[in-house]
Amino acid sequence: MTTPDAVAEHTRLVVEDMVVEYPTTAGTVQAVSGVSFELAAGETVGVVGESGCGKSTMARAILQLPAPKSGSVRFDGTELASLTADQLRRLRPELQMVFQDPVSSLNPRRSVRQIVAEPLTIWGRGSRKERNEKADDMLRAVGLEPSEFGDRKPSQLSGGQCQRVAIARALLAGAKLLVCDEPVSSLDVSLRATVLNLLEDLQEEFDLSILFIAHDLSVVKNISDRVMVMYLGKIVEVGDSDSLYAHPAHPYTVALLNSIPEPDPETPKLAATLVGDPPSPLDPPSGCRFRTRCPMAQDICAEVEPLLQAVSPTHQVACHFPLVAPLAAAEEAYV
């Protein structure tokens, strides 16, 4: 696990004021609006929120697929937007993505060994024998025995095995930043745990920075060093995993936590419920975008957009009425 102090010292990814918009016949879709965060080497940041909140759009924009409308994305100090197409292509092996549907992300006509070795083939690295040997080594690293799985096609694998192949291909390409877009949502519970444990092991071995996207807070709890909560294109809360789960400060985060199935029906839950449907990104509400569904909303919420404020040294929330006292207010009360 990466300590918060290490983020500033070994920052791998810096995103500042990212904006992603899509023009449509009905208007402009404001998919991502002014998102900023950092990701350290060897750190995992989880991104959670409802479908349509902008998680996947943000991830693709970070990888310039396509580039954001405005804002800055710096990878190891390099501004990605300033690169030419050829320069970006040469950097792409270090920027890899694991997609939600593992089966459709693999070429059905090729063998597992060919799929994993593909990055080396594209860049012409080594002979065919050397590429196959490296592919076999990587398959072993993700828990697939080459003698058993190397010659199979994706259709002959389970969903979890296909996801392992996708991860192996990304790592063999030379990934330093691994963007996982709902990588376990299509898998059953037992396979989810297997893939999550695999990512943790590989992160330590290869010093990976991981951006892990999910809509389920229970999935990201154990794998993430920090968690970002998104709502309608905005970050509404961000903090270290333990603090955010133990002391959620935004009503939306509480509602997401309440949605996690609890085996014991007698277990008390924090008081927060969502009302209505999410607003359209074509015309987001003024002020706080969550106010139309928030049980705590007041007049100021419609007039002034809340900015992220600290409730602890490693925990921030964008809310006029946070459920945890802001750090500045707590310090003033102490004085």
CA dist 113 and 152 (Å) reads 8
Q: What is the 3-state secondary structure (H, E, C) of the chain?
A: CCCHHHHHHCEEEEEEEEEEEEEECCEEEEEEEEEEEEEECCCEEEEECCCCCCHHHHHHHHCCCCCCCEEEEEECCEEHHHCCHHHHHHHHHHEEEECCCCCCCCCCCCCHHHHHHHHHHHCCCCCHHHHHHHHHHHHHHCCCCHHHHCCCCHHHCCHHHHHHHHHHHHHHHCCCEEEEECCCCCCCHHHHHHHHHHHHHHHHHHCCEEEEECCCHHHHCCCCCEEEEEECCEEEEEEEHHHHHHCCCCHHHHHHHHCCCCCCCCCCCCCCCCCCCCCCCCCCCCCCCCHHHCCCCCHHHHHCCCCCEEEECCEEECCCCCCCCCHHHHHHHHC
Chain centre to alpha carbon of residue 141: 23
Q: Rounded CA gap, 226 and 240, in Å?
A: 4
As a whole number of angstroms, the distance between CA 165 and CA 154 comes to: 9
Tokens 């991981």: give the residue. 210
Query: What are the pLDDT tens digits along the chain (335 aa)?
Result: 444 444 445 899 999 999 999 999 999 999 999 999 999 999 999 999 988 899 999 999 999 999 999 999 999 999 999 999 999 999 999 999 988 887 888 999 999 999 999 999 998 888 999 999 999 999 998 889 999 999 999 999 988 899 889 999 998 998 999 999 988 877 777 777 888 888 888 888 888 999 999 887 878 888 899 999 999 999 999 999 999 999 999 999 998 888 776 655 555 555 556 777 789 999 999 999 999 999 889 999 999 999 999 999 999 999 999 998 887 554 444 33
Tokens found for residue 25: 């016949």
What is the strand order of the sheet 78-79 is part of?
27-40, 11-24, 70-75, 78-79
Angle between helices 189-206 and 159-173 (to 10 degrees): 10
Q: Looking at residue 277, what is its pLDDT?
A: 78
Count of other CB atoms within 10 angstroms of residue 262? 11
One-letter identity of residue 278: P
pLDDT of residue 178: 94
Q: Which domains does the chain have, with CATH numbers?
A: 4-231 (3.40.50.300), 249-335 (no CATH)
Residue 330: predicted pLDDT: 46
pLDDT at 272: 58
pLDDT at 218: 78
Nearest to 36 by CA among 181, 235, 178: 235
226 exposure class (CB count in 10 Å sphere: 0-12, 13-18, 19+): buried
- pTM, whole model, 2 decimals? 0.87
Pairing outcome for strands 70-75 and 309-312: unpaired
- The CA distance from 188 to 158, in Å, is 11
Of 112, 116, 119, the closest CA to residue 149 belongs to: 112
Q: Give the per-residue pLDDT at 268.
A: 57
